[in-house]
Structure 1
Amino acid sequence: MPVAPPPPKSLPLTALRAFEAAARLGGFTAAAAELGVTPGAVTAHVKALEEGLGAALFERQSKGVRLTALGAAAAGGFTEAFDALARAEAVLRARAAPQVVHVATLPAIAQLWLSPRLPALRAAAPEISVSITALEAPPNLKRAPYDLSLFPAATGGRLVAVDAVFPVCAPALADRLRRPEDLAAVPCLSDAAWAGDWDLWLAAAGVAVRPRGPVFSLYALAVEEAVNGAGVLMGHAALVADHLARGRLIAPFPQRVALPQGLRLWSARPMPRGSAVARVVEELSRGAP
């Protein structure tokens, strides 16, 4: 009676994904950030893969890792394979839920720019559902399950809002500010992600003042504190426009510094005319420069 030998055991998909990400991004830490796991998990997956192969894929060095000849020869094929898998997954998601659009953006943009525009979008396209995910960095749209990303950038995508920085504060606090030098006597609120905004504006205004005050990790919270009268915030025009229009914030000085980065929309895939993604882009682009 013939005996069929067992088929060779497949290499674990998770380990292959960790290897491909580390090879493409140049390190285990960057791969972990993209995959949403710890660097230790990526290290363990790659080590298990190397043990299963009986060959090294990376050279471990004091300043990081470098692909071996074997790893370099294999990496490109896996990148193509995972890109193709991501495209197939995107098609499957779109066909399964053609009226759902997934948007990735910064937390501050989600709360201060995108959220105020959702009622008009729903009114114009009530059949479309918009799902929003707040991220601290733009996703890799070739891999991530998002239809659109909305982030500050100087080029690429579709520009939906220009940006500039300038001080803003509550009306009561504005009464104490006659000239930029008066900023030395009030709390100056800062956002950790945009730590250089104050220096940029002060240099352009020609003012030798060292701003002092609380630093926030959430820009939307810093905006609310400025509205509450806690201090003067370096406002981003695209994000404080609604508060300025309602009079909750005031720009006490006329100087503005235009930024090369505007808010830009990127699409994860082609947008056929009339599709849900195309409709969302059209609505969010209304009034764009």
Structure 2
Amino acid sequence: MSVNPQIRNTLHLNALRALEASARLGGFAQAAGELLVTPGAVAAQIKILEAEYGAALFERHAKGVRLTPLGESVKTDLTLAFDAIEAAARNLRRQAAPHKVHIVTSPALAELWLGPRVPELAASLGSIDISVTAVEEPPNLKRSAFDICLFYIDRLEKGYRLVEEEELEPVCIPSLAEQLRHPSDLSSTRCIADVVWEDWKVWAAAAMPDQPFSPHGPGFSLYSVAVQQALLGAGVLIGRRSLIRQHLESGALVAPFKKTVPLGLKIATWLLPESRNNRAVEGVAEALVRTGSSRE
């Protein structure tokens, strides 16, 4: 009779990935966000591992989960292992397409900052092709297929490069600007804004600190739509100058009060430390910085 024993158990790589992300990020919901699945899917993967090894990896409680000593004991090893896997995949991808660089940025920056600058970037980069993906939050570059991040941040971390300091200023079409003489006129004017950003509040606190001001008017979850409404004459937009510069330069939008206020955020770009050795990736990062500084 033949004997064919099972030499080893099959590795549940998706389950191990869910365990590593949950351990590193501190919970199933956070891991789900990074892995682009639901928290329930992460929890199910963890249960597969717990059934496989016959031991609990997380303690469940009302406010979330916490690693058990067993789960804690493998946390570092799993992170190093998946870092190595992702690095190998990244190296494979870059060798297969050495002239392709993938930028990840926010929707507003993708549409209004990067989009208008793509022809200029392409001309300066020669044979390098760039692709752009828009997401709401900066991803972990170690765990994604992106090469470069371009986002708003409040302070520069080590390795981050400043692209442009952001400034705020109310803007509108010229015919509407003729009706506005003082910032207090905004109280009787439709004010356009992004529904998430508090730019009107920041600008008013600095530009008219002694006057109570509560803007009223339409709000939009996409800043590009807010800009479009301003161009259609729907009201006064609180403009992020880096995002509306082309309209200011063309005269389609004007600043009626000439009161520019620092937002307190800056556009910055960053990449993985080892990516600095990749000529294509480093070349795109340098081009982004040059493009931003040339417009100041």
Q: Report the TM-score range of the alignment, normalised by the length of the smaller protein.
A: over 0.9
Q: Does residue 44 of structure 2 align to residue 44 of structure 1?
A: yes
State the superposition RMSD in angstroms.
1.5
1:168-179 correspondence to structure 2 within 5 Å: 168-179=171-182
Q: Does residue 203 of structure 2 align to residue 201 of structure 1?
A: yes
In 2, are the aligned partners of 1:105 and 1:133 still within 8 Å (CA)? yes
Q: Does residue 166 of structure 2 align to residue 158 of structure 1?
A: no
In structure 2, C-alpha distance between the alignment counterparts of 1:283 and 1:255, rounded to whole Å: 30
- Residue 161 (structure 1) shift: 1.1
Runs of 4+ in structure 1 deviating by more than 4 angstroms, as ranges, are none
Instruction: Specify the alignment match of 1:78 in structure 2.
Output: 78
1:3-152 correspondence to structure 2 within 5 Å: 3-152=3-152
- Residue 2 (structure 1) shift: 6.1
Q: Does residue 271 of structure 2 align to residue 264 of structure 1?
A: no
Paired residues, number:
287
In 2, are the aligned partners of 1:201 and 1:257 still within 8 Å (CA)? yes
In structure 1, C-alpha distance between the alignment counterparts of 2:196 and 2:108, rounded to whole Å: 11
Q: Deviations over 1:62-87 (max 9, x none)?
A: 11111111111111110111111111
In structure 2, C-alpha distance between the alignment counterparts of 1:184 and 1:47, rounded to whole Å: 57
Q: Secondary structure at the match of 2:234?
A: coil
- Residue 217 (structure 1) shift: 0.8
In 1, are the aligned partners of 2:270 and 2:285 still within 8 Å (CA)? no
In structure 1, C-alpha distance between the alignment counterparts of 2:176 and 2:65, rounded to whole Å: 53
In structure 2, C-alpha distance between the alignment counterparts of 1:58 and 1:4, rounded to whole Å: 35
- Give the TM-score normalised by the residue count of structure 2: 0.92
In structure 2, C-alpha distance between the alignment counterparts of 1:224 and 1:47, rounded to whole Å: 49
- Residue 151 (structure 1) shift: 0.4
In 2, are the aligned partners of 1:155 and 1:261 still within 8 Å (CA)? no
In structure 1, C-alpha distance between the alignment counterparts of 2:131 and 2:196, rounded to whole Å: 24
- Residue 254 (structure 1) shift: 2.1
Q: Secondary structure at the match of 1:210?
A: coil
In 2, are the aligned partners of 1:99 and 1:276 still within 8 Å (CA)? yes
Identity of matched residues, %: 49
Instruction: Specify the alignment match of 2:289 in structure 1.
Output: 285
In structure 2, C-alpha distance between the alignment counterparts of 1:187 and 1:53, rounded to whole Å: 62
Q: Does residue 221 of structure 2 align to residue 220 of structure 1?
A: no
In 1, are the aligned partners of 2:203 and 2:263 still within 8 Å (CA)? no
- Residue 96 (structure 1) shift: 0.6
> Where does the alignment leave 5 or more consecutive residues of structure 1 unmatched?
none
> Where does the alignment leave 5 or more consecutive residues of structure 2 unmatched?
none
Matching residue's letter, 1:203: A
In structure 1, C-alpha distance between the alignment counterparts of 2:27 and 2:148, rounded to whole Å: 27
In structure 2, C-alpha distance between the alignment counterparts of 1:143 and 1:175, rounded to whole Å: 51
In structure 2, C-alpha distance between the alignment counterparts of 1:161 and 1:276, rounded to whole Å: 22
Q: Deviations over 1:196-225 (max 9, x none)?
A: 211111111223111111221111111111
